[in-house]
Chains A and B, each alone.
Chain A
Amino acid sequence: MTTERAARIDNTSRREFFKVGAGLTLAFYLPASQAAKHAGKAGKEDNATPTSPPFAPNAFVRIGTDDRVTIIAKHMEMGQGTYTGLATLVAEELDAAWSQIQVEAAPADAKRYNNLFFGPTQATGGSTSIANSFMQMRQAGATARAMLVSSAAQRWQVAPESLIVRAGVVSHPESRRKARFGELVEAAAKLPVPREVKLKDPKDFVFIGKHVPRTDSKAKINGSAIYTQDIHLPGMLTALVAHPPRFGAKVKSFDAARAKAVKGVVDVIQIPTGVAVLGKDFWSAKKGRDALTVAWDETDAFRQSTADITRQYQALLDKPGALAKKVGTDGATALQGGRAKDALPAVADGETALKTAAKRLTADYSLPYLAHAAMEPMNCVIRLDDAGCEVWNGEQGHTNDQHKLAAALSLTPEQIKINTLFAGGSFGRRSNTQSDYPLEAASIAKAIRQPGKPAVVKLVWTREDDMRAGYYRPKFMHRITAGLDNEGKLVAWQQRIVGQSILKGTALEMLVKDGIDQSSVEGAVNLPYATANLDVELHTPHLGVPVLWWRSVGSTHSAFAIESFVDELASAAQQDPIAYRRQLLAGHPRHLGVIDLAMRASGWDKPLKPGQAGEKRGRGFAVHESFNSYVANVAEVTVKPDGSFKVDRVVCAVDCGIVVNPDVVRAQMEGGIGFGLSAALHSEITLNEGRVEQSNFGDYPALRMHEMPRVEVHIVPSAAPPTGVGEPGTPVVAPAVANALFAATGERLRQLPFKLGVAKPT
């Protein structure tokens, strides 16, 4: 073993934590995960204590005398494979056997489990889980390993350097002595925690970059995996809430008589967000809510229709917006957001360059509001008693939710105990700094709480509730104008963006700088294509539609606009779309890396096989960087004589730095492509006088089996620090498909979902 980097666990509370001793450590761990597991399945507490205390050298790993190695995951598992990734990192440096690894969710405790990229906040998001944990989890594993080695060295009276560790066994080759981890943990637990440990040289990796199976497959295949929806606690009531039909409306009055007459309905109460019907189970609460009559006060309700908003956005596209980025011909950058143009340092102007350009192109792109529509509709279980509040949730923002719930319940954040369960998808929805659905659950528990008795409530949103509750990917419109010289090179790129701010008015408002929400302009302000002038402007209309990030955030719209437009430029310059991009990306080796790999793997240099008689085939390309990962897609489509089309094949190349688990990377690319394609083909939330028109998968269709293309994923080998894969697979497929449809039909589709002209999804 060589030293990649002498490392030390940075967890400030580590020593304190360790000092409390193994017995107390056990007590600390049991309530959150074990109680949840047992209460969830059988409705009873399990107070059984293992006979031997485990070895818990740090907050992330615990090893029992039974040889089980438990990895404590600070990030929630919503399908992205992070449990497997985090476990891989610990197991690698620990030299455990993969079969002895299990994963459990960490409790809410930002002191130990904060996201190292987010400061003192425990949260999962922004495709950061593996990136921020890469060294931390390896150090956790290496620390435990060092202590097991010391323990064996002491037992056998040999030098630690003479020992080797492999697959959960420490051995002394010279004397042929061996000990399993489980045989060493009791003595190891009494040793001091080393301050510095050596990490492996990447050439010695046995798990990182290799195939290991997912840790959550079995439970998700046999139905035993527990989600919030599956929690059942003693005395628990199920609550459904009648929400107002328009955003911003309130309850004026309600008649609960018919609802209360439904068998199984226990209570009907008004809460800040509507009227809650509590029943002994889902079906009684649902029937009760169906029987409820509510009159709404819609004085402050949002009443615009999608067409009104579109008109307003189109008008804004004609007006200069706040400047998000300006780079001049002279190379000078005048950045700053929000200020009027005349207040900026003088830089050569793109307007002038546009006037003298050999060719000038302009195009508008339009993208709708989108719901996340995770398979598990939002839900939350809350148990409120004298000691505090216990939460069961597919928890994505532990620290934020602790603070929000504490404020609402007049408790301290430490009194909010969170049991993090598997989430049935999220795509950004569970990471809401407004804590909307946990607060709703808490408001119900607070309202029904009787002195001396716990209030136990499971809030369940139906699919319809989930789809109409807002927090959509904002509707966005882009206008891009570019000037080209005679060789097709860019002399000016002007991009005007219109859309609501996700961050304004939230706990993350500090990320809005000088009026520019960076999440609205990402992808555009860091345009990789070489241009003599770059202008990015932003309009941020304020509307009463709640908005939120949606898998890959700003790139969901900027990549579609930019990658479609670059394709239009290539076409105007009469150049191959990939060759055209390559010459504008000279200073961007990682873009070029994925471009070249996708090109080779897709057979771009060979003509596309023709379809059947009357069919048109086309191939399109797009490349985009998001969350510091680089993804290129080649999409192949077949358009039938009736105008319907099928995406046949998507070849994907990805550069996400060091790959921890290649199969999880592939899975995230496959899924990200499917998720992006689902939106491109089908998804649109529309408003009719403020009412959301969609309600379920009938009118908000999702991609289905027959529409999923063949996906081939290729990974660029890299020694760069690992970056995320949960989101970057999503934004590239829509422009790749639009460009393929153009290649097949000559028709440009500049609006999502694709629905113009002849090209319609099959």
Chain B
Amino acid sequence: MLTLNINGQNHALDVEPDTPLLWALRDTLQLTGTKYACGIAACGACTVMLNGAPARSCVTPVSAAVGQRVTTIEGLPTNKISKTSQKAAKAVQAAWEKLDVVQCGYCQSGQIMSAVALLASNPQPTDADIDAAMAGNICRCATYHRIRAAIHEAAHSLT
């Protein structure tokens, strides 16, 4: 048995310690907002936050997440994350909705987690900052154009 703190709640899990956090979230806890797409940390669809920093849950064994605060898309924006992250999450989700960023939507949980982590640490990112922070998140629908605009929009609303 392992205990994970997810979105502010402790969960006792009966999984093998090498199980990636992604599959513990999805298959064991049925928190399916975090997506599987590559399994090798190459696309960012599985991005969650560990203690507020973005992490690829598909290559993070559950054993490595023990003792850390895990935040998933289901935990945004109201759960027990820092005030800064909460504000960033609200702004990001509102901007995503305002600009209708999504298309198929499958990568968007990961995009949003990366964007929230970016804005929590850098509330006024430049285009270059966005390129660097979002380079790990693939969107095959290529909604990048709107993701960039939505991050700027969210940043603007945070001022």
Q: A residues engaging B (CB < 8 A)?
A: 41, 43, 78-81, 213-214, 216-227, 229-230, 232, 238, 263, 281-283, 373-377, 422-427, 460, 462-463, 663, 667, 670-675, 677-678, 696-698, 702-706, 708, 710-711
Contact = CB atoms under 8 A, between A and B. Distances in A.
B63 to A, nearest CB: 13
A223 B96 contact: no
A283 B105 CA distance: 24
B105 A79 contact: yes
A227 B74 CA distance: 16
B12 interface: no
Given A375-B45, A425-B106, 13 more contacts: A79-B141, A80-B103, A221-B102, A223-B33, A227-B35, A674-B142, A675-B140, A697-B38, A702-B140, A703-B138, A704-B134, A708-B144, A710-B145
A79 B105 CA distance: 7
Given A373-B140, A705-B137, A670 B105 contact: no
Residue in A218, A702, A706 whose Cβ sees the most chain B Cβ within 10 Å: A706
A229 B32 contact: yes
A427 B106 CA distance: 14
B100 A225 contact: no
26 contacts: A217-B96, A217-B101, A218-B97, A219-B105, A221-B101, A223-B34, A223-B74, A223-B109, A238-B27, A281-B27, A282-B26, A283-B27, A375-B141, A422-B105, A425-B104, A425-B106, A425-B140, A427-B140, A463-B39, A670-B146, A675-B140, A698-B42, A703-B142, A704-B144, A708-B145, A711-B145
A557 to B, nearest CB: 20
B51 to A, nearest CB: 20
Contacts of B101: 217, 221
Nearest to A676: B142
Contacts of B73: 222-223
A422 B32 contact: no
B148 interface: yes
B57 interface: no
A79 B104 contact: yes
A630 to B, nearest CB: 21
Contacts of B109: 223
Contacts of A671: 103, 141-143
B49 interface: no
Contacts of A673: 142
A282 B36 contact: yes
Is the contact region of chain B dominated by helix, strand, or loop, or is it mixed?
loop
Interface in B1-27: 15-16, 19-20, 23, 26-27
A457 to B, nearest CB: 14
A708 B142 contact: yes
Contacts, number: 183
B76 interface: yes
B100 A376 contact: no
B159 interface: no
Contacts of A462: 39
A463 to B, nearest CB: 5
B91 interface: no
B40 A226 contact: no
Q: Which of A227, A375, A460, A672 has the most CB of B within 10 A?
A: A375
Interface of B: 15-16, 19-20, 23, 26-28, 30-40, 42-43, 45, 72-74, 76, 93, 96-97, 100-109, 112, 130-132, 134-135, 137-148
A678 B140 CA distance: 9
A283 B19 contact: yes
B143 to A, nearest CB: 6
A217 B97 contact: yes
Instruction: Select the residue from B32, B45, B131 with max chain A CB neighbours within 10 A.
Output: B32
Given A223-B73, A223-B109, A281-B23, A375 B43 contact: yes
A375 B140 contact: yes
Q: Which 10 A-B pairs have the closest CB atoms?
A: A223-B33, A674-B142, A424-B106, A220-B105, A79-B104, A79-B103, A223-B73, A708-B144, A230-B32, A706-B131
A282 B32 contact: no
Q: Name, among B43, B102, B148, the residue most crowded by chain A CB atoms within 10 Å (CB to CB).
A: B102
A374 B39 contact: no
B101 to A, nearest CB: 8
A705 B134 contact: yes
Contacts of A230: 26, 32
A705 B130 contact: yes
A290 B106 CA distance: 26
B72 A283 contact: no
Nearest to A677: B142
B135 to A, nearest CB: 5
A230 to B, nearest CB: 4
Contacts of B146: 667, 670
B43 A282 contact: no
A222 B93 CA distance: 8
B23 A283 contact: yes
B142 A263 contact: no
Contacts of B139: 375, 674
